[in-house]
Amino acid sequence: MKMVRTRPKYSIINVRVLILLYVLLCILTVLFSHTFFIETLQDGSVPDLLNRIVFFTVPVVLLVFLAFSLVRLIWDMVQRRLGSKFQARLISYFIIAVILSAAPVTIITVQSVYELVRFWRSINISDTLQYARNLALENYTINLERFEKLSLSSDFNISRTSQTKLSVQDFPEGLRAIQDFSPDENGNWISRAFLGDETQEIKTLPGNQQGFISRELPRDTDTIRYVLPSKDLVRVLSYHLGEGFDAAIADIEEERARFEVINSLELNVKPLVVYYYGVFLFPTLLMTIIITLSFSRKITAPIVELAEATSRVAEGDFSIQIVSRPDDELGRLISSFNAMVQNLEKSQTALLKAEKISVWQSMAQQLAHEIKNPLTPIKLSAERVLRRWRTKPEETGEILESSMLAIIQEVEGLSTMLTEFRTLSRPTELSRSQTMIREQIEENIEIYRGSYPEVLFDIEHVGANISVKMEKRYLSQILTNLIINGIDAMNNQGRLEIRTDLVKKRESRYCRLSIRDTGKGIEEQDRPDVFTPYFTTKESGTGLGLPIIERIVNDHGGTIWFNSAVGVGTTFFIDLPLDEEPLPLEGAPDNGENQDKQ
């Protein structure tokens, strides 16, 4: 019993592995898309060339894999493999469904991005931020002027304040600390006195030139310092610009930078959208289609195996069984198919047995009839000799020779018929020997050239280097029988053409041997019985020649059929397996098995 396993063919990666890869791709897409949006909104530019190469590697690899799978599917369709068209339809339906569902979402998303950027552009944030910045700078300038007047007032004159002790309560508005620096014995300026907010105390003298000093952050956060120098003393006044002044200025500058990024997004929105779909959406679509290809193979594989098994059953192979999967609709269908094939096999066995019995009964009856026919003249000849011997023994010699010749002739006919019957009934002895077909044809033709001078034997189209898997004696028997039949059909005059062609049927190569005569042809009503044992249209024929030839050809894996037209002639075709060595084709390939049969 042959078992056929239902599984997908030509599958490179398992469906489960593809689904796992799809999940990993989705996770990576989420992670990288988050990073992509953050970086894009920070600078508003398209990723550089290196990043584009890295990101687009995944879709390119998936495209190559998908192209390979599609080319393989197209090749299966070209080769007309079972299931390829069904698989192509499944994939086409899925791709159409994906396009119909993805197209509106894509269009809406792209349009939303454009509208969002346009909306951002319509908000007049730039002027507002510039006004806030100008306002902060104006406030800063006013404070500088006020703090400078305050610093130069007599209240903070070094000569005066050195004589007068100040307290924090005496500080005017905005002043947060006073710190004095004087040189030590090494000439280094060190802090000698400090009064005010301790957070404003500095470790080193920032400068000894009168005026405001450059601000250093974070040391001078929300603070501006003014220097009052003298010969041996430098006083540093620390003024407060307002709580959160530097933070507000930084926020204004940061928002201005972000708004400039938004402005730049409008210029790069098209390449950014293409990049986004090419890197994040397109790979998932490709992966989905690849998974669909694998699923379609998995779905169509049992159907293909079922179709192939059905085809083999139609050809007469009832020993095939398909391995089915449990708890599955296709599994139940396959189980029903297996049960049907088993029942057909049992029915076929019983039918073949009955047919064999019927055939042998018919052949036995026919053989008995054929044997009975010559027994009558044998009996009559013997009775005639016996009767003459009893009545006129002296005249027995007159009829003895003719009677004995008649008996011998009928006995030889019986012997020939029994020999042919034995040939038909016993199996053909096969061998692996090869026979050069042209040499055998020339050898058989040579026997009849001299005996039939009015018959033209044409073997011009017989290949010189063709060998078939058949013993010489069997090929000679086939040629002899068909040549004699052709000569008899032409009444010993006409044209007998023999030719060979190389043909291919399915995966095997054959030599097509054709023998054509220009005789009277075969009547329409006689054609179905040509290969039936004991059927003959000749007066001296046994009706076993063509059945024996058919038996030999079939046992060697070949086929035989004929075309005939009354008044035109008959052509017998025989396809014999070629030798295993490949040979160049001399004829056109066969478009179908036995397409010329009648």
How far is CA 370 from each of CA 242, 504, 583, rounded to the nearest angstrom? 135, 42, 46
The span from the CA of 3 to the CA of 15, in Å, is 24
Within-domain flag for 199: yes
* pLDDT of 356 over the 80 cut: no
Local structure of 443: helix, strand or coil: helix
Regarding whether 406 and 279 lie in a shared domain, the answer is: no
Q: Which residues pair with 546 in a beta bridge?
A: none
Regarding whether 194 and 69 lie in a shared domain, the answer is: no
Regarding whether 262 and 241 lie in a shared domain, the answer is: no
Within-domain flag for 131: no
pLDDT band at residue 184 using 50, 70 and 90 as cut-offs: confident
How far is CA 140 from each of CA 241, 252, 346, 598, rounded to the nearest angstrom? 7, 15, 108, 111
Q: What are the tens digits of pLDDT across the range 455-474?
A: 999 999 998 888 888 888 88
The span from the CA of 436 to the CA of 467, in Å, is 4
Going by DSSP bridges, is the β-strand pair 2-5/320-323 parallel, antiparallel, or unpaired? parallel
* pLDDT of 582 over the 50 cut: no
Regarding whether 270 and 239 lie in a shared domain, the answer is: no
Out of 152-166, 275-289, 395-409, give the one with best mean pLDDT: 395-409
Q: Which residues pair with 563 in a beta bridge?
A: 571
Average pLDDT over residues 332-351: 79
Share of the chain above pLDDT 70, in %: 71
Out of 119-123, 394-398, 450-454, give the one with best mean pLDDT: 450-454
The three state secondary structure string of 477-534 is HHHHHHHHHHHHHCCCCEEEEEEEEEEEECCEEEEEEEEECCCCCCCHHHHHHCCCCC
Q: Which two tokens stand for residue 296?
A: 């379609």
How far is CA 524 from each of CA 482, 496, 545, 598, rounded to the nearest angstrom? 19, 22, 20, 10
Q: Report the number of distinct structural domains present in the chain.
A: 4
pLDDT of residue 327: 64
User: Where is average pLDDT lowest: 77-91, 323-337, 553-567, 577-591?
Assistant: 577-591
User: Where is average pLDDT lowest: 260-264, 383-387, 409-413?
Assistant: 260-264
* pLDDT of 572 over the 90 cut: yes
DSSP letters for 112-164: HHHHHHHHHHHS-HHHHHHHHHHHHHHHHHHHHHHHHHHHTSGGG-HHHHTTS
* pLDDT of 516 over the 90 cut: yes
Give every strand in the sheet of 189-196, ordered side by side.
189-196, 175-183, 234-240, 223-229, 211-212
Average pLDDT over residues 515-524: 91
The span from the CA of 471 to the CA of 433, in Å, is 6
Regarding whether 182 and 61 lie in a shared domain, the answer is: no
Regarding whether 283 and 264 lie in a shared domain, the answer is: yes
Alpha-carbon Rg for the chain in angstroms? 55
Average pLDDT over residues 16-28: 70
Mean pLDDT (the chain) is: 75
* pLDDT of 424 over the 50 cut: yes
The span from the CA of 565 to the CA of 473, in Å, is 31
Residue whose structure tokens are 């086409």? 92
Q: What are the tens digits of pLDDT across the range 213-255?
A: 888 888 888 888 888 888 788 888 888 888 888 888 888 877 7
How far is CA 380 from each of CA 76, 206, 374, 396, 458, rounded to the nearest angstrom? 73, 157, 10, 15, 47
The span from the CA of 269 to the CA of 275, in Å, is 10
pLDDT of residue 570: 92
User: Is the preceding omega at residue 584 within 30 degrees of 0, hence cis?
Assistant: no
pLDDT of residue 363: 62
At 2, phi and psi to the nearest 5? -85, 135
Domain-terminating residue out of 248, 279, 295 = 248
Average pLDDT over residues 15-19: 68
The span from the CA of 540 to the CA of 409, in Å, is 12
User: Where is average pLDDT lowest: 53-62, 183-192, 546-555?
Assistant: 53-62
pLDDT of residue 262: 65
pLDDT of residue 591: 38
Within-domain flag for 378: yes
* pLDDT of 41 over the 80 cut: no
Regarding whether 263 and 202 lie in a shared domain, the answer is: no
Regarding whether 309 and 374 lie in a shared domain, the answer is: no
Contact 370, 542 (CB under 8 A): yes
pLDDT of residue 45: 56
The span from the CA of 270 to the CA of 46, in Å, is 10
* pLDDT of 352 over the 80 cut: no
Model-level pTM?
Answer: 0.39
Eight-class DSSP state of 524: G
The span from the CA of 165 to the CA of 158, in Å, is 11
Q: Which helix (H) or strand (E) holds 282?
A: helix 282-314
Residue whose structure tokens are 């802090």? 191
pLDDT band at residue 12 using 50, 70 and 90 as cut-offs: very low
pLDDT of residue 590: 43
pLDDT band at residue 367 using 50, 70 and 90 as cut-offs: low
Regarding whether 400 and 266 lie in a shared domain, the answer is: no
Question: Can you say how many angstroms the Cα of residue 496 is from the centroid of all Cα atoms in its chain?
Answer: 52
* pLDDT of 496 over the 90 cut: yes
Domain-terminating residue out of 407, 425, 443 = 425
* pLDDT of 552 over the 80 cut: yes
pLDDT band at residue 518 using 50, 70 and 90 as cut-offs: very high
Local structure of 12: helix, strand or coil: coil
Within-domain flag for 166: yes
Average pLDDT over residues 386-413: 78
Within-domain flag for 410: yes
pLDDT of residue 366: 59
Average pLDDT over residues 124-145: 77
Within-domain flag for 133: no
Regarding whether 353 and 412 lie in a shared domain, the answer is: yes
Within-domain flag for 430: no
* pLDDT of 33 over the 70 cut: no
CATH number at residue 451: 3.30.565.10
Torsion angle defined by CA atoms of residues 219, 221, 222 and 226, in that order, rounded to the nearest 10 degrees: 20
The span from the CA of 105 to the CA of 112, in Å, is 10
Eight-class DSSP state of 195: E
Q: Which domain holds residue 242?
A: 153-248
- Top pLDDT among 437 and 162 is at 437
pLDDT of residue 263: 65
The span from the CA of 147 to the CA of 127, in Å, is 30
Q: What are the tens digits of pLDDT across the range 60-91?
A: 777 887 788 788 888 878 877 777 788 788 88
Regarding whether 545 and 451 lie in a shared domain, the answer is: yes
Within-domain flag for 598: no
* pLDDT of 596 over the 60 cut: no
pLDDT band at residue 515 using 50, 70 and 90 as cut-offs: very high
- Top pLDDT among 281 and 503 is at 503
- Top pLDDT among 446 and 410 is at 446
* pLDDT of 256 over the 60 cut: yes
* pLDDT of 587 over the 60 cut: no
Q: Which two tokens stand for residue 71?
A: 């080319």
Close Cβ partners of 593 (under 8 Å, ≥ 6 residues apart): 505, 506, 559
Share of the chain above pLDDT 90, in %: 6
The span from the CA of 575 to the CA of 556, in Å, is 10
Q: Which residues pair with 189 in a beta bridge?
A: 183
- Top pLDDT among 475 and 154 is at 475
Regarding whether 568 and 495 lie in a shared domain, the answer is: yes
Contact 406, 381 (CB under 8 A): yes
